[in-house]
């Protein structure tokens, strides 16, 4: 017979499994050639570039990027139409199965808003990517002079 104490213990153990699953690494995701462009002292916005690769058999959809170093991070893409450049915000990044996408100047990139301190060439920033299924992975990215 289950006592209240046994039920509470079972609930606690079950909850621990759900929390562990929610924070599992994003299987197959890797980052290469990652860098954040050092910005002028007065700038409140920085840009991040990298190649995101997926060695898995299913697409990976990144729904959020976050860091304790910035108030917010967004995915943007620079588009050129009729000689005019504009930026479009995307809600997700999809990396195809056994494929990659490149975040680069003049294309898709991370916009990093309101750094908590001035970041200089050689500094390292941890950025956490969160997938649409709740998996998370942190990558350390160096700041470089553009």
Residues 59, 110: Cα–Cα separation, whole Å? 20
- Domain contains 18: no
- Domain contains 2: no
Q: What integer pLDDT is reported at residue 125 of this predicted model?
A: 98
**SS3 (DSSP) at 4:** helix
- Domain contains 17: no
Domain extent for 34: 26-144
- Domain contains 131: yes
Q: What integer pLDDT is reported at residue 19 of this predicted model?
A: 43
Q: What integer pLDDT is reported at residue 3 of this predicted model?
A: 58
Domain count, the chain: 1
Q: What integer pLDDT is reported at residue 24 of this predicted model?
A: 80
- Domain contains 14: no
Residue 116 DSSP symbol: S
Q: Dihedral through CA 35, CA 124, CA 126, CA 67, nearest 10?
A: -90
Helix, strand, coil share of the chain (percent; to 5): 15, 55, 35
- Domain contains 135: yes
pTM over 0.75: yes
- Domain contains 3: no
Give, for all 146 residues of the chain, the pLDDT tens digit. Answer: 555 555 444 444 444 444 444 468 899 999 999 999 999 999 999 999 999 999 999 999 999 999 999 999 999 999 998 989 999 999 999 999 999 999 999 999 999 999 999 999 999 999 999 999 999 999 999 999 98
Q: What integer pLDDT is reported at residue 1 of this predicted model?
A: 52
**Domain with 123 in it: what CATH number?**
2.60.40.1890
- Domain contains 13: no
């Amino acid at each position: 017979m289950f006592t209240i104490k046994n039920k509470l213990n079972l609930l606690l153990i079950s909850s621990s499994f759900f929390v562990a699953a929610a924070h599992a690494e994003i299987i197959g995701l890797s980052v290469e050639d990652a860098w954040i462009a050092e910005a002028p002292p007065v700038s409140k916005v920085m840009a991040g570039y990298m190649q995101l690769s997926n060695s898995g058999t299913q697409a990976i959809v990144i729904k959020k990027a976050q860091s304790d170093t910035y108030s917010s991070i967004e995915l943007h893409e620079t588009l050129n139409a009729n000689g005019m450049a504009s930026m479009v915000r995307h809600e997700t990044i999809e990396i195809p199965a056994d494929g990659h996408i490149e975040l680069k100047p003049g294309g898709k990139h991370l916009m990093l808003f309101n750094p908590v301190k001035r970041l200089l060439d050689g500094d390292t920033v941890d950025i956490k990517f969160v997938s649409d299924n709740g998996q998370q992975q942190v990558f350390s990215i160096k700041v470089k002079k553009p």
